[in-house]
Chains A and B, each alone.
Chain A
Amino acid sequence: MNCADIKQKLQPFLDDLLAEDEFKAFCDHINVCGKCGKYVHSIGSLSNQLWKLGKVRVPEDLSSTIMYKFDHHGQKARSSKYILLKKRIIAGFILASLIIALFVGINYLRTRQQSRRDDTSIVSIVRTEVIHKIESPTESETRSFIKQLETIMENKLGIAVKDATTNVEPEKGNIVDEEERGRD
């Protein structure tokens, strides 16, 4: 774009009607050509007033502050990277500990539940196999019940209780005497 083009395209420029490549060429020219720049910016339009708003005085030490911040920012970024890594390691350690604790807890609960289930099965065997036979026990039935109980305890629980139960006497109130039964 040359100086003649600038005069020709001035109004479309001010109205923001130029195509993008024309707009760029126009701006590039008025930034380079002092005469055209002065001419364009002398016209009182909104675009020009906005352009003039950019002509504020910048503090002289801004560039040195930027350079200082740039150097400082680099160190800060490096140290923040190290802190981030440290935090990640700690978080990983805590997470691993939680997972292990959870695993151990679940195993413990499973084992406990299994042993409870075993206990329940023994009790149910005792109920089904033995207890229903003692509704109207005779002396011989009681003795046989005790023997069965001993057998179960020995077989299932591994407890030798034979000596302890040999002297057990059945309670009279609960056991119907065989003689009385014979009389009936």
Chain B
Amino acid sequence: MPERDERRLKLLISRYQQRVFALVLHLIGGDQDKTYDICASSFAEAMQAGSLLEQEEVFLTRVIRIAIKKSRATKTMPTSNELDFLDLPSSEKGPLRIVLKGLQALDFDAKALVLLRGQLNLLYRQIATILRVSQSDARIKTVQAYARLRKMIGDDLTPEN
């Protein structure tokens, strides 16, 4: 592989690996080993599939699409392992656990929508491309998924939290 391509690949990996890792981790219920495998193979497949000179957005949507597909095929089981969050004070971990619990109670598609919009801050256009639905469908389903999550969390997550 030319050195320029290799450098570009490493840059893309370092830029997106955390976002994809976190997405997969929460999608499959917190199993870090499975997340690691899914992430590695998703990136490898996405890099194999297309030219490195493509736009980053295309690359990102491709990686996420593959990762979601693999996560869906994985048998998910919520783990009780404490997640290793970066630079977060312990006072902020309480509300996060509440959100996480609510998230794990959602079905896979709703969870994916909430995470794609809320965690990765993707546009509905990108979500629609990843999930292969129309843009309006992506928007409606995301709003519905958010509503279900809010209902599950209830009053546990107040603005002060």
A is bound by B: yes
Chain A: residues with CB nearer than 8 A to chain B? Answer: 16, 20, 23-24, 27, 43-47, 49-59, 62-63, 65-67, 69-70, 72-74, 77
A166→B114 CA distance, assembly (Å): 108
Chain B: residues with CB nearer than 8 A to chain A? Answer: 6, 9-10, 13-14, 17-19, 21-23, 25-26, 32, 36, 39-41, 43-45, 47-48, 83-88, 92, 95-96, 99-100, 103, 114-115, 117-121, 123-125, 142-143, 146, 149-150, 153, 157-161
User: Which residues on the A side are within 8 Å of B119 (C-beta)?
Assistant: 50-51, 53-54
Indicate if the CB atoms of B44 and A70 lie closer than 8 Å. yes
A72→B41 CA distance, assembly (Å): 11
User: Which residues on the B side are within 8 Å of A51 (C-beta)?
Assistant: 118-119, 121
User: Which residues on the B side are within 8 Å of A43 (C-beta)?
Assistant: 159
Closest to A41 in B: B92
Given known contacts A51-B118, A55-B85, A58-B18, A46 and B123 CB-to-CB distance under 8 angstroms: no
Given known contacts A20-B123, A47-B118, A62-B21, A53 and B26 CB-to-CB distance under 8 angstroms: yes
Indicate if the CB atoms of A54 and B143 lie closer than 8 Å. no
Given known contacts A52-B88, A52-B96, A46 and B18 CB-to-CB distance under 8 angstroms: no
User: Which residues on the A side are within 8 Å of B87 (C-beta)?
Assistant: 55
User: Which residues on the B side are within 8 Å of A74 (C-beta)?
Assistant: 48
Given known contacts A63-B17, A73-B44, A55 and B88 CB-to-CB distance under 8 angstroms: yes
Given known contacts A53-B26, A57-B85, A66 and B99 CB-to-CB distance under 8 angstroms: no
Q: B127 → chain A, closest Cβ, in Å?
A: 11
Closest to A28 in B: B121
User: Which residues on the B side are within 8 Å of A63 (C-beta)?
Assistant: 10, 13-14, 17
Q: B35 → chain A, closest Cβ, in Å?
A: 9
Indicate if the CB atoms of A73 and B95 lie closer than 8 Å. no
Q: Give 12 new A-B contacts, CB below 8 A, not counting A46-B99, A53-B118, A67-B9.
A: A46-B118, A46-B153, A46-B157, A49-B157, A55-B87, A55-B88, A62-B13, A62-B21, A62-B39, A65-B36, A66-B39, A72-B44
